[in-house]
Structure 1
Amino acid sequence: MNTGNISERLKQRRTELCLSQSAVAKSAGITQQSVQAIEAGETKRPRHIVEISLALKCAPEYLLYGTKAPKQSS
């Protein structure tokens, strides 16, 4: 279980999937600047967490709290 914060978990998961901030943003229907703000720690509770988790193929709880390990990418 990852004990970091949402910014660290989002960036780690994005990197594991070889996705850019822009790719995650486009898939989640938000701006790249929104993804950057989360990764920079400026946004602690993003409104579009469900959409972001779908883009990153993981549970929202994983991004928010570090629970429920992300699904393995195929």
Structure 2
Amino acid sequence: MNDSTLATRIKERRKALDITQTELAERVGMRQQSIQYLESGKGNRTSFILELAKVLRCDPNWLLNGESTEDRA
């Protein structure tokens, strides 16, 4: 299991895709401040996890828990 947090996974994936917080927020349907809050580790709002995973092109389980569905096989 990965020791990273939801905050670091979102931030690292967003930066790897060269997406700003504002762009991510617009694509997901959130406010930029909400993305900033998530990335700071102060929030863990998971109601947008599927949308975040889609935009960040990653497994929602990995984004949420640090595990992908392939890790469970």
TM-score under structure 2 length normalisation: 0.84
Runs of at least 5 residues in structure 2 that lack an aligned partner in the other structure: none
Task: Report the AA paired with residue 53 of structure 2.
Answer: S
The separation in 1 between residues aligned to 2:32 and 2:60, in whole angstroms, is: 19
Equivalent residue number for residue 27 of structure 1: 27
Q: Which amino acid aligns with 2:29?
A: G
Q: TM-score by structure 1 length? A: 0.83
Contact 1:2/1:9 (8 A) holds in 2: no
| Distance in 2, Cα, partners of 1:33 & 1:39 | 10
User: 1:72 is matched with which residue?
Assistant: none
Greater Rg by CA: 2
- Higher normalized helix content (fraction of residues): 2
Q: How far 1:13 sits from its partner (Å)?
A: 0.3
Number of aligned pairs?
A: 69
Unaligned residue ranges in structure 1 (runs of 5+): 70-74
Q: CA deviation at 1:46?
A: 2.5
Cα offset for 1:43? 1.0
1:3-60, CA deviations, whole angstroms, 9 ceiling, x for partnerless residues?
Answer: 2000000000001000100111111111111111100111124211111111101111
Residue 63 of structure 1 corresponds to which residue in structure 2?
A: 63
**Deviation for aligned residue 1:2:** 3.8
